[in-house]
Amino acid sequence: MVSLLDIIGPVMVGPSSSHTAGACRLGLLARCLVGGTPERARIELHGSFARTGEGHGTDKAIVGGLMGFRPDDERLRTALEIAEREGLDYQFEKTKLGEDGVVHPNTARITIERGDRKSVMVGSSLGAGRVLVTEIDGYPVEVTGNYQTIVLVAEDIPGSVARIAGILAEHHLNIATLRLTRKERGGDAFMVIEIDDVPDENVRDEIRKLPWVKWAFRLEKVSA
């Protein structure tokens, strides 16, 4: 659902809502998957993102997002210098992630590492600052960043969804959407839960403590 504030907004550092602000939001979402600023980042750019990224500051924007800078943060202009100072080892590549008309022209695959945590996220910048994460660690997803989102990987066992939903209910968190996907039956299950309110870190920790949960992260709301 489109919000008025998606259209009149974001307030952002220019020049491009898709190649700068949207790129920044993709960086912010990727950062959540490793729990903080990554130590190493490999960013593969597809399509228009690759061809026209430099002039739009796409590189600065994604790296800035990985460091936690939001789209209106003026540090985006010097994000690459800041990254070098802070020890974020980044690398850009041009790639083809799929056919025109199938893969959005502004798509990036971001591989990030922090400590022993490594994650791969594929996301697109749809225009006007809106983004869509389409894959996390090989699982197909649809994360817009319009909500606080909890993502987790768990063993695919009966009752897992009920248990997770129960924890959220105990914390008075209202679920907006819940999606469960898995690569195969009895394999790992991947859950993406969009929530109306801000869950505190206890919620994520409780979910992580469940023995059949392999990992869980909170993705921030990156929209207005």
Partner 1 sequence: MYRSLQEAVRDADGQNKTLAQVALDAESRDQGRAIGEIRGALRRALEVMRGAIKQGLTGDLRSASGLVGGDAAKLHKDAVGPLAETPFRDILARALAVQEVNAAMGVIVAAPTAGGAGVLPAVLTGLAEARGLTDDQLVDALATAGLIGAVVAERASLSGAEGGCQAETGAAAAMAAGAATEMLGGTPTQVVNAVALAQQGTLGLVCDPLGGLVELPCVFRNATGAAIALAAIEMALAGITFAIPADEVIDTMGEIGREMDVRYRETAGGGLAATPTGRRLARERLVQIKTRDA
The DSSP 8-state label assigned to residue 156 in this structure reads -
Residue 2 binds partner 1 (CB under 8 A): yes
* Contact indicator for 159, 167 with CB cutoff of 8 Å: no
Residue 106 binds partner 1 (CB under 8 A): yes
Parallel, antiparallel, or unpaired for β 89-95 and 40-46? Answer: parallel
Q: Which C-beta is closer to partner 1: that of 38 or that of 47?
A: 47
* Contact indicator for 113, 36 with CB cutoff of 8 Å: no
Residue 115 binds partner 1 (CB under 8 A): no
Phi, psi of 148 (to 5 degrees): -60, 130
Give residues 29-58 in contact with partner 1 (rule: CB under 8 A). 44-45, 47-48, 50-58
Among 59, 131, 139, 144, binds partner 1 (CB under 8 A): 59
Which residue matches tokens 């008075």? 172
Residue 100 binds partner 1 (CB under 8 A): yes
Q: Which of 129, 32, 4 has its CA nearest to residue 71?
A: 129
Which residue matches tokens 């800078």? 69
Residue 89 binds partner 1 (CB under 8 A): no
Residue 134 binds partner 1 (CB under 8 A): no
Which residues contact partner 1 (rule: CB under 8 A)?
1-21, 44-45, 47-48, 50-59, 72, 74, 76-77, 91-95, 100, 104-106, 126-129, 196, 224
